[in-house]
C-alpha cells in the first residue's frame, strides 16, 4: 500500500511516499481502508520530533474509512462498517490498523471527508468549550486563529452556548469567515494590537477565557487581556512552544488560571469518546455545526499540505485522500 512515512524528523521534505505492507490487525484492532485523513498541527509536531515517535513511522492522527478486517477479540465491528478515529498514528496511508475501542461509527448522512474533518478538531472544540472551561451564557471569550480548523468550530459552539465571541484572524478574508461563523468582533492581528483591541472591546474588564492554539507569539498578551481569575486555555503552539515563565505573573495579572490540555485526556475513556464524538457528529448531521474543508490534497501531496498549514495559508480543514 501507499503511505507517507517519516524516516527522520525535520521539515515537510521528510514526508516521503512509500510502499509498505498492508497491516494485519492484532486481536483488539481493526484494519480500516482510509478514505480521508485529516491534516493537523499535531502531525507537524510529530514530524519535527517535538512529540517523539519511533522511526520510521507513518504520519497522521485522524482518519475515516471502511473496516476491512477485525482482530479475534473485536465483537462490535464488522467488515463494511463506516468508521472514524483520531489519536492513533498512521492515518496518512491507504490502510491503517487501529485499536477497535478508538473507532466510532459514522452517521449514514455524513461522508468520509466530513467525518475525517470532524474528529480531532471537532472534539477539540467540544472539550475546550464544554469541559476545560465550560462556557455559559454571558461569558466573553477570545478565540485566536478564529478562522482555523478548530477556530471556526469553536466559534460556532461558543455562540450556541451563549457567549460573546471576540476572534483574531490574520487577514480580512479570514476575519469574514470567522464572522460568518458567528463571531461578534474580529481583530486583524497583522494590523491591530489584539491586547489593546480586546481591552477596548471589553471596557478594560478583559475576557473570561482565552482559547489559544498559537502559543509563543500570543501568550504574554493573553495574560493581560483576562479578567481577574480568568482562564488561559493553551491548546496548541502553532507559532512555537511557550518559554518557561514566572508563575508570579499569574498573581500579578489577577490570580489567573493556565491549562495546557490535550484531547487525549478528554476521550481516554470509551464512554467519553462516544459521548463527545456522537455530540460532534450529531451536530454536523443536524446542520447545527458547519464544517469548512479548505482543500482535499492527494496523499502524494502531503508535503504541500504541511507547508500550507504551517504557512497560515489554510482556513478550515485540510485533508489527504489516498
2-120+268-321 CATH: 3.90.180.10
Question: What is the pLDDT averaged over residues 101-126?
Answer: 96
pLDDT in tens, 248-301: 999 999 999 999 999 999 999 999 999 999 999 999 999 999 999 989 999 999
Nearest to 63 by CA among 117, 127, 21: 117
Question: What is the pLDDT averaged over residues 108-136?
Answer: 96
Label residue 128 left, alpha or beta by phi (over 0 means left) and psi (-120 to 50 means alpha).
alpha
Residue 316 has pLDDT above 80, yes or no: no
Please name the CATH architecture into which domain 136-260 falls.
3-Layer(aba) Sandwich (3.40)
**By the 8 A CB rule, do 99 and 132 touch?**
no
**By the 8 A CB rule, do 115 and 36 touch?**
yes
DSSP 104: E
Number of CB atoms found within 10 A of residue 8's CB: 11
- Global pTM value: 0.92
Task: Please name the residue that has the C-alpha cell 473496516.
Answer: 67
Spell out the domain ranges in the chain.
2-120+268-321, 136-260
* pLDDT > 90 fraction of the chain, expressed in percent and rounded: 94
pLDDT of residue 314: 79
Number of alpha carbons in the 13 Å side-chain half-sphere of residue 287? 0
Which residues is 226 bridged to in the sheet? 207
Nearest to 103 by CA among 70, 54, 60, 58: 70
* 2-120+268-321 and 136-260 share one fold: no
pLDDT of residue 149: 87
Rounded to whole angstroms, how far apart are CA atoms 82 and 276? 18
pLDDT in tens, 143-202: 999 998 899 999 999 999 999 999 999 999 999 999 999 999 999 999 999 999 999 999
Rounded to whole angstroms, how far apart are CA atoms 146 and 251? 28
Residue 237 has pLDDT above 90, yes or no: no
pLDDT in tens, 136-153: 999 999 999 999 889 999
Question: What is the pLDDT averaged over residues 59-64?
Answer: 98
**By the 8 A CB rule, do 1 and 22 touch?**
yes
Amino acid at each position: 500500500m501507499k503511505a507517507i512515512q517519516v524516516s527522520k524528523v525535520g521539515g515537510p521534505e521528510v514526508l516521503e511516499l512509500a510502499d509498505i505492507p498492508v497491516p494485519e490487525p492484532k486481536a483488539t484492532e481493526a484494519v480500516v481502508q482510509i478514505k480521508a485523513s485529516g491534516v493537523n498541527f499535531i502531525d507537524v509536531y510529530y514530524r519535527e520530533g517535538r512529540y517523539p515517535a519511533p522511526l520510521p513511522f507513518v504520519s497522521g492522527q485522524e482518519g475515516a474509512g471502511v473496516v476491512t478486517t477485525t482482530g479475534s477479540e473485536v465483537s462490535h465491528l464488522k467488515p463494511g462498517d463506516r468508521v472514524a478515529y483520531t489519536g492513533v498514528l498512521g492515518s496518512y496511508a491507504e490502510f491503517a490498523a487501529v485499536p477497535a475501542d478508538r473507532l466510532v461509527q459514522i452517521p449514514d448522512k455524513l461522508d468520509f471527508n466530513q467525518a475525517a474533518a470532524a474528529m480531532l478538531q471537532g472534539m477539540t472544540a467540544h472539550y475546550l468549550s464544554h469541559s476545560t472551561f465550560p462556557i455559559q451564557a454571558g461569558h466573553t471569550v477570545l478565540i485566536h486563529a478564529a478562522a482555523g480548523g478548530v477556530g471556526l468550530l469553536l466559534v460556532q459552539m461558543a455562540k450556541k452556548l451563549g457567549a460573546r465571541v471576540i476572534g483574531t484572524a490574520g487577514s480580512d478574508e479570514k476575519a469574514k469567515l470567522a464572522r460568518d461563523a458567528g463571531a461578534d468582533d474580529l481583530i486583524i492581528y497583522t494590523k491591530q494590537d489584539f491586547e489593546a483591541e480586546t481591552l477596548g472591546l471589553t471596557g478594560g474588564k478583559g475576557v473570561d477565557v482565552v482559547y489559544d492554539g498559537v502559543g509563543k507569539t500570543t501568550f504574554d498578551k493573553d495574560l493581560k487581556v483576562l479578567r481577574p481569575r480568568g482562564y488561559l486555555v493553551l491548546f496548541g503552539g502553532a507559532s512555537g512552544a511557550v518559554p518557561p515563565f514566572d508563575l508570579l505573573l499569574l498573581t500579578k495579572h489577577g490570580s489567573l488560571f493556565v491549562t495546557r490540555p490535550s484531547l487525549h485526556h478528554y476521550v481516554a475513556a470509551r464512554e467519553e469518546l462516544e459521548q463527545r464524538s456522537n455530540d460532534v457528529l450529531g451536530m454536523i448531521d443536524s446542520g447545527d455545526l458547519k464544517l469548512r474543508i479548505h482543500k482535499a490534497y492527494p496523499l502524494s501531496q502531503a508535503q504541500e499540505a504541511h507547508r500550507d498549514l504551517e504557512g497560515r495559508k489554510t482556513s478550515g480543514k485540510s485533508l489527504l485522500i489516498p
